[in-house]
Amino acid sequence: MKLPPLNAVRVFEVAARHGSMRRAADELFVTAGAVSQQIRLLEEHFGVPLLERRSSGLLLTAAGQDFYSASARHLRGIAQAAERVRPQDQQISLTVAPDFASRWLMPRLSQFAALNPRVEVRIDATFAMADFDRDAFDLGIRSVVDFPTGLHARLLWQLRMRPYCSPTYFRDHLAHDGDSAERSAQWQHARLLHESHPYDLWAPWFSMRGLGETNAEVGLYFSHGLLAILAAIDGEGVTLQPPEYVVREVESGALVAADERLLDCGLGYYVVWPKRPLKAAAERFKDWILDQVEPAGSAADRATIPSGEGERR
C-alpha cells in the first residue's frame, strides 16, 4: 500500500475545509503559494484534480469530495489519538479572569515556557467561577473577598486601584492648582471609563477621595479592562486600574496616574486548586506564578503624577 504524501494530505484537508487557499495559508502559517504547491503534488500523485479554482473560492471535485471526507475523518482520529498518548501530567488547564490573563499573566508566560518547554498550558479566560469537581481545570486565578471554601488557595496580591489617563487628558482636564472645590469640580466633569463586570469601583474611589459621587456612574462602559486601558491611552478618559496592569504603559509614558491615592478594594487575587494532589506540571506552574508576584512597594505601586500638575498649558 502506497500512501500519498502526508503533509500534502494535511494541507489539502485545511484548504478544502476553508474553501480558500488564503485562509488555509493563514491557519498553516505558510504562503498561499505553498498551499497550492502541496495540492498540486497531491493531485499529481492521484492523477486526478481534487479542487477547482474559481474566483469565489475552491470547489471540490467528485474525487476531491470523496478523499476529503475520508482524510478529514482519519486526521481527526489521529489528533484524538495523539491527545490520548501525550502524557497528561505535561498538560495544565487554567481558568483565569480575562483582565488578569491579558494584563498580568500573558506578558510573563514566555518565562514559564522557557523553563518548561514540554509543558502544554491551556488557558480559559472567563469571569465564570470554575467547579473543580465538574470542570477539568488544575488551577484557577480569581479576585474574591475570601477564597472559596473547600479549595487550597494562596494570595497573589491584594487588589488596589488607581485612576490613570493619558498625559494629554490629564493636562487638559485634571491638572489643577486650585482648592479642593476646584478639584472636585474637575473630577465631576471627567469622562470615566467603566468596566461592566461586577467590580466597577468608581463610586468607592470617589467616596474615598471625598469628591462626592455625582459623576461616578457617568462615562463609557467596557466589557473588559483591556478596552478601558486602550481607551485611556487614546485620551478618551480616565480608567481605574490596579497598578500591576499598567506597568508598561506608565513606564513608556502612555499613561500617567491621575491621582496618587490607591483604593483598597477589599479583594484579593488568589491562585486556587482543588483539595487533591496536583500533577507535577501544575505544581511547578503554581510555584512559578507565586515567584512572579512583585513585593509590596514595587515600582508598580508608586504614583507617577506629572511634575507640572499645577500648571495649565
Domain ranges across the chain: 6-85, 88-158+267-292, 159-264
Of 30-34, 172-176, 183-187, which one has max mean pLDDT?
Answer: 30-34
Q: Using alpha carbons only, what angle is made at residue 260 by residues 299 and 227, rounded to the nearest 5 degrees?
A: 75
Q: What is the pLDDT of residue 260?
A: 87
Question: pLDDT per residue over 181-214, tens digit each?
Answer: 677 778 888 899 988 766 668 888 888 888 765 6
How far out from the chain centre does Cα 125 lie? 7
Q: Using alpha carbons only, what angle is made at residue 156 by residues 155 and 159, rounded to the nearest 5 degrees?
A: 95
**Cell numbers linked to 158:** 491584594
More confident site: 88 or 35: 35
Q: What is the pLDDT of residue 230?
A: 94
Report which of 108, 102, 128 is spatially closest to residue 242, judged by C-alpha positions.
Answer: 102
Classify 159-264 by CATH class: alpha beta
- Looking from the CA of 14 toward its CB, the CA atoms found within 13 Å total 21
Q: What is the pLDDT of residue 297?
A: 41
Amino acid at 239: T
Contact 141, 100 (CB under 8 A): yes
Q: Using alpha carbons only, what angle is made at residue 134 by residues 131 and 135, rounded to the nearest 5 degrees?
A: 75
C-alpha to C-alpha distances, 90 to 126, 155, 211, 278, 281, nearest whole angstrom = 23, 25, 52, 12, 6
Report which of 53, 60, 48 is spatially closest to residue 32, judged by C-alpha positions.
Answer: 53
Pairing of strands 151-165, 238-241: antiparallel
Answer whether 6-85 and 159-264 agree in fold: no
Q: Is the whole model's pTM more than 0.85, yes or no?
A: no
Task: Work out the percent of the chain whose per-residue pLDDT is above 70.
Answer: 85
Averaged pLDDT for residues 229-247 = 94
C-alpha to C-alpha distances, 302 to 243, 261, 297, nearest whole angstrom = 8, 10, 7
Report which of 245, 264, 261 is spatially closest to residue 201, judged by C-alpha positions.
Answer: 264
**Cell numbers linked to 172:** 487638559
pLDDT value at 296 more than 50: no
Q: Give the span between the Cα atoms of 221 and 46, in whole angstroms.
A: 57
**Residues shown for the chain:** 313
DSSP secondary structure code for residue 213 in this structure: S
- Please name every residue paired with 161 in a beta bridge, in sequence order, or none if there are none: 263
More confident site: 199 or 222: 222
Q: Give the span between the Cα atoms of 201 and 149, in whole angstroms.
A: 25
Contact 127, 101 (CB under 8 A): no
Fold classification of 88-158+267-292 is D-Maltodextrin-Binding Protein; domain 2 (3.40.190)
Contact 103, 229 (CB under 8 A): yes
Fold classification of 6-85 is Arc Repressor Mutant, subunit A (1.10.10)
pLDDT band, very low/low/confident/very high, at 229 (cuts 50, 70, 90) = very high
More confident site: 177 or 121: 121
